[in-house]
Chain A
Amino acid sequence: MADHGQRNRPDPDKLLELTARETRGKLTVFLGAAPGVGKTYAMLLRARRLKEDGEDIVIGIAETHGRAETAKLLDGLEVVPRRRVTYRDRALEEFDIDAAIARKPKTLVVDELAHTNVPGSRHPKRYQDIEELLWQGIDVWTAMNVQHLESLSDLVTSITGVTVREIVPDTVLKRADEVLLVDLPPAELIERLKEGKVYLPGNAERAAEGFFKPANLTALRELALRRTADRVDDQMIDLLRQSAIEGPWATGERLLVCVGPDSLSDKVVRTASRLASGLNARWLVVSLTQTSDAGAETSKRIDELLDLAERLGAETRRVIAQDFVEEIFRIARRENVTQIVVGRPKSRRFANPFRRSLPDEIIKRFTDIGVHIVTGEEQGGAYKPPSMRKRSRRELAAAIAIPVITTGMTTLLGLGVSDIVHTQNLSMLFLVAVILSAMISGRLSAVIAAGLSFVFYNFFFLEPLHDLSIAKPHQLFSLVIFLAVALMIGDLAGRLRDQVARSRNQAKNTQALYEFSRKLSGTARLDDVLFSTATQLHSTFGTGVTILLPGDGDLSTQTAWPPDLTLDGTDMTAVRWAFEKNERAGHDTATLPLIDWQFLPILTSHGVAGVLGLFMQDRPPLTENEDRMLIAILDQTAIAIDRAQLVRENAKTTALQESEKLHTALFSSLSHDLRTPLASITGAVTTLRQLGDRIKPDGRDDLLLSIEEEAGRLTRFVANLFDMTRIEAGTLKVKNVPIDAAEVIVSSIERMKKLKPEIAIEISIAPDLPAVNGDPSLLGQVLFNLLDNAAKYAGDGPIAIYARQEDTEVAISVTDQGKGIPPKDLDKIFDKFYRRVKGDGRAAGTGLGLSIARGFVESMGGTIKAESPAIRKRGTRFIVRLPRANPTGEAA
């Protein structure tokens, strides 16, 4: 039952995707099998119909290829003017994306999805333009031929023999909201072609002859039909999921695709993609390597492969393992894989007949999982082993110059010492030259040095001299031995050098990363984190760095190093792109590739936190290693940003908790201080009413007196609360008049005596006490509160009030002889609702008196402080200091 209910609930992820799509524009793709089937015509025809229905539909770009019947359809349709660009002295017209966005129609027609933009455009590819339009909320209609789909490109090449250059990722079509198939039987298409109704770009005409063969067209048509049918399937499944209709829609198939750096892997990935879309299965592509420090070429190759897989809609994972089969087995079990796809090269030149290939091992290991084997030939051209990597011209020059120099020097030295050293031993000197070359510039130099040594030694030192021929057979033998030894030593030394260089480089990177993360771990403030990151990246890559964070609606530079770097409007567009799309933008990327900056999103666990910019104008593109370093640093930064934000939130939470505590204190104080007098009054009144006649007269009087006293207590408490509220709300009206402090002191003592007649108060007021500036009633309340407080804690000793002049101020002190206050609590006693514990363990007072006293004194421009112990290790003294009234005030 529960399971049933669960299944009937709409899949929340699917609904989310749907709402995301609702704010996005809708993409409609007119899919054709080949050029000439009439996609543009069909699209425009439909656009016209919609326009007639009053829809806001605009043509962004439509290629009529000069055909009248198509051009006629454009009549009466609004067309966005094209952008004129000059590229290599040729005037070209391009689709104007900015004008289209500015016009912002409901629906925009943008023909030729697979088009490649002129260099310098915002995006290199038109499908990226369209992505941006959709993102702006514009519905887009576009057209493409099935051959441009990335996952089909190799298949199309093998069917038609034509290499497809303009490629559209499968995800574009997969994400399209609607795919319309524009179909034309091959025979009719060929007929149209013959009539000249199909436009082909000039350079394609020759290819067309091979291309437009019935067999090819039928195959392409089948591909297009099948792709559209797949789409219908997907839509059906989406619909079922969104509306929670039960059905056998989940195939539950999951493919595991194993790839390596070999050239066959491309084919493996493409084949797996087709298989996955046919099975409607999720697929996971895993790259397998044996060590983490695979050469730069290998890891670049793997990156490309996994990128391709992701574009085709796969999940990807990099795996480093010693035992591939075991690792594949583990992943397959964990991910509930139902089928495995793996490649097997057809001919392996150095295949070991005793070792089984990976596919064989897999087949042996898995008994319950289907294994697909993709066969093919390794194409030597596609993948170069690391040793064949290209050298820069400078490197090459050094590799040749150094062995020439070392062997030349050795020859000169040898000629100098040939009289005293046996010719045989001179060969040792040449070995030194070979090793030196190897150590200075690597293995190629060592090989060259070995060759040169062989020649020079023979030419200058072996009989017959100055001739490359050899007289004695044993010399030939030693010469061959020498060459072999030189080559071996040179190779070893060169290898050693490469390894040392590599590990030194790695150690440097690791050290830098370690120091960076240590630096970051010590910083909790966001600003510090960003600054550390910027300076670290600046020193690592030797280029300008900027970090932008969102705030107040837009991203703004938080840190830049050097600090005077600025970004222009185009840069900011790339920044926003990187931030909102969570992908790289700017220099050397798919978006705005010609600007000087490259921007990378900083991805934290809560989404994109900001954008990092690297100034790339003056430096070569990032190498594989640098890129990895950059990403490692960004990851560290993201963690630190996360942490900084957590710290900030934590502080906020703590503050909230504090205020909550205060509220609890307020409530407990209010409930106790209000309830006790109320309980007394209620009790006394009901007693009088119900039992009055049974109580003696003096008992009745006492009850009445208690009512009066408790009512007074309530009144004072409520007055205190009002005072506190006025202080806090800032609505306290403070008079600023000269007041005679002595008078106020006496009147507040009288008020106190009325409340507590038994209290003993000593007064000492300086006879010439000047007037102070302030509010007499506020000062009176302050002194009363201080006296009240003293009375609570004084014990039996008398309370002393002193008033003295101190420079421009008048100091009034109230001192009790109670137990005093521990120094750590002295700061807190003025806090609202802070109450010390009375001698009997019970909290005393309302916790407001001193707080109000401070509020009043400060509002009169004075200060108040507490000292403890006051006299002989006992007591507390409160000192109020108020400014003297000015002479004019005195005169008045």
Chain B
Amino acid sequence: MVSEAGDVKSFLAQQHPFNHLTESLLDFVSTNIQVAFSKSGSEIPLSTTDKNEQLAGIIIVRSGSMEIRSHHGELIDRLSSGDYLIPEVLTDGEGHNPQVVVLEDCLYYELSNYAYQSLKSSSQEFSSLSSPEISNESDSAEDNNQGSGQSTYLNQYIKETMSSSVVCAEQSISIRKAAQMMTEFRITSLLIMDSEKLVGIITDRDFRTRVLSKAVADTEEISHVMTPNPMCIDEHSRLHDAQLTMMSAGIHHLPVLRDEKPVGVISLSDVLRANNVEPLSLAKGIKSAASIKELSIAAKGVPGLVIKLIERNDRAVEVGEIITSFADAITRRLLLLAEEKFGPRPCDYAWLAFGSQARQELMLGSDQDNALILPDGIGDKEASYFKEFCEFVNAGLNECGMPYCPGEIMASNEKWRLSLSGWCECFSNWIEEPSPKALMFSSIFFDMRHIAGDSKLTENLQNYVLSRAEKNTIFLALMSGNSLLHSPPLGFFKTFVLENDGDHNHTLDLKIRGTIPIVDIARNYALSASVAEFNTVARLKAIKKLGIMSNEMADSLVDAHDFIAGIRLHAQAEQYRQQIKIDNHLDPVQLSPLVRHQLKAAFHQVREAQAAMKVRFSGGLL
């Protein structure tokens, strides 16, 4: 006797969720499989009036494809080889069965309901399947991203990490008394109160920089040397938020509030303890770099850190924020170095980031997109100062792993080093006379974020742009039409559409095909409603709150965005490990069937959102 496993078992052994089964359970499943065939156009019954006919517990597509529609006719899912459906899960609360129609001649496996039920009781994989698997793809995508229940440090809450006792003092006490209290309680920061209200903070470092070095008498009131109105954080925030706040503000202590009252302090070292990867030490290296060379050495640590974050299964959105925070820190450091080199700035300026850096969605290998706003009416001397200044910073960013922008969207390009009124004119032209090129610029420049300098310049420009764009429905229609050019890479739902240019045969471009469509949707809606957010997730949440996109669609786009970004990051991590050039291309063959399945579902959601956007904005053209 030879193996009787046959095709059925070897096929199932490669498919999720059957690939998680033990050998004996897999044998159990394959002996309980019945094989059936339905030609295209026929319906697969999920309910029966015939008592003799046994209904299947699971249906697994072997070849061909089928689609599931709710009893209202709404498309629920499309299945192709390796996909499965569970009739029990699909039946809605009122006992309505969805309709399953074969699209292409379909060979499928049925697992008897009896076998499915006993499988559910003996396999965790299967018991978890009884929660909706089809209509709620995003949930499983999220579960997958977050790993099997292990909390990553970024998802920990501040409450778990902060110092549990809080030491406060009245603002009228003397400097000496404050120092004594801190010594007594062995703390490095003291919260200063005006009766119940937090009014300031004093830290070890403040005693050095504001008391001793300035020879202030220790009898003076502490309120004279404290940091008034300190930045605070709510106790329900996540560690990640605390880290970002401290990193961007360059501070080491954050008071933690509950209902506006301090309940603890979280410090840099608390974060470091919770996080053995130490992005902060890297941030420190960036902040203290005294030359481009030192800075570029520090920046070399960024990819390694990012890989560690990815390996720990941190959420992609957060990894993007961390990469961005490094890019911001490097930019700020370079701006300071530039002033050291060329002398102090002759007038104010605002340094802007565009594109993914503006959206806080940088990935590894992203190129730089930046520009400068200058005040109106500056002279030639100032202009030539900023020419050198910007060339220095752009060259520095290039050294530090953010390559020159191939489209020359950089502050060193005089086209993008304009006065505030010059910028306003520029945007106004794009909005009023949207040529294809203007639309391309718009999709880059409408995502802008202030990085350094005078934030008023940036705010003025942002407000101007939002007010102009919101009113112009033709512009919005064209933007929406333009973004429909980037479609999710699904062929007639069965296969991925793969890139076919020279270097990247048979790969998916996850950036152009996956991320950009979502980013575009979020931007277009945000522009139409004057939403000032620049981050895609923040935009989607704001749009949802305003009620101009359905809750379901906004939520599923957020999930799809995170999921696609996660796959991009994992693919990049793999490229980094193999020491090949980091880009956004991925061969779908490298993905597991489950991930492929989820990716298709994510693309599917993007496509639906695109269709909805088209309907919403095409009005201006009609």
Partners in one complex: no
Which residues of A does B touch, CB under 8 Å?
Answer: none
